[in-house]
Amino acid sequence: MEKQTNVRKEMKEALYKRAIGYDVEETKVIVSKDGRPVRIEKTKRHIPPDLKAMIAYKKLFGETDAGKDM
């Protein structure tokens, strides 16, 4: 039962993260023709909020932070 609760919590957190958007760091390794790494490029990319995830979060968990700051 505890494992099911933990999975539900992880799913809730992941859906919330997708609903509000997040930043991710991507790493790209540039290699030479002979296959040796030449340089590593790191870039940050923003994943925008997802409306469908917002709707699903509200529908599944019935919680919202909307209006708390108002």
- In this structure, what token pair is assigned to residue 64? 């919202």
Condensed to tens digits (0 to 9), the pLDDT of residues 11-64 reads: 999 999 999 999 999 999 999 999 999 999 999 999 999 999 999 999 988 865
Residue at 66 is within a domain: no
Residue at 69 is within a domain: no
- Whether the pLDDT of residue 65 is over 70: the answer is no
Question: What's the confidence (pLDDT) of residue 67?
Answer: 46
The residue range of the domain holding 40 is: 2-61
Report the domain count for the chain: 1
Q: What is the pTM of this model?
A: 0.65
Q: Are 63 and 69 in contact (CB under 8 A)?
A: no
Question: What's the confidence (pLDDT) of residue 17?
Answer: 95
Residue at 49 is within a domain: yes
The b/e string for 47-63 (b: 16+ C-beta within 10 A; e otherwise) is: eeebeebbeebeeeeee
